[in-house]
Amino acid sequence: MRITGDHSGLALKGRLDVRSAADARARLHRAVDGGQGDLVLDLAGLESWDATGLGVIMGTHRRAGRLGRRLVLRAVPAQLQRLLVATRLHRILAVEGTVPDAYGTSMPALGVAPPPMVAPSL
């Protein structure tokens, strides 16, 4: 697993699985803690993820929300998009962009989740 970028955008390459989860979690949490606004994760280079890797993404999403930030997944590979749909996490996570499917055609992204609602102050 290789992670490059800064506090506003990171690119993940390789496999996000039980072997790489601890290092990935630490790097993603540092990025969330050290910045402001959206944190964009470019997943174009991500080959696969397992349940542990998905847990890292969800943990980062929750941490970002607690800090007033939003985690945005960009260029999610088709196989991983299907996993997000199967687990219904596409309704929670912000996903943008399009990805080529196995036939080289472009699949629409799952859509970007709206920003969290803030209760009006009285």
Per-residue pLDDT at 63 exceeds 70: yes
What pLDDT, on a 0 to 100 scale, did the predictor assign at position 98? Answer: 52
Type of residue at 89: L
β-bridge partners, 14: 46
Report the half-sphere exposure of 58 (CA within 13 A, side-chain side): 14
What pLDDT, on a 0 to 100 scale, did the predictor assign at position 83? Answer: 87
Q: Tell me how far apart the alpha carbons of residues 97 and 118 are, in angstroms, rounded to a whole number.
A: 26
* Domains (range + CATH), the chain: 2-107 (3.30.750.24)
Name the maximum alpha-carbon separation found in the chain. 54
Q: What is the pLDDT of residues 94-106, one digit of tens each?
A: 998 654 444 454 4
Residues of the chain above pLDDT 70, percent: 79
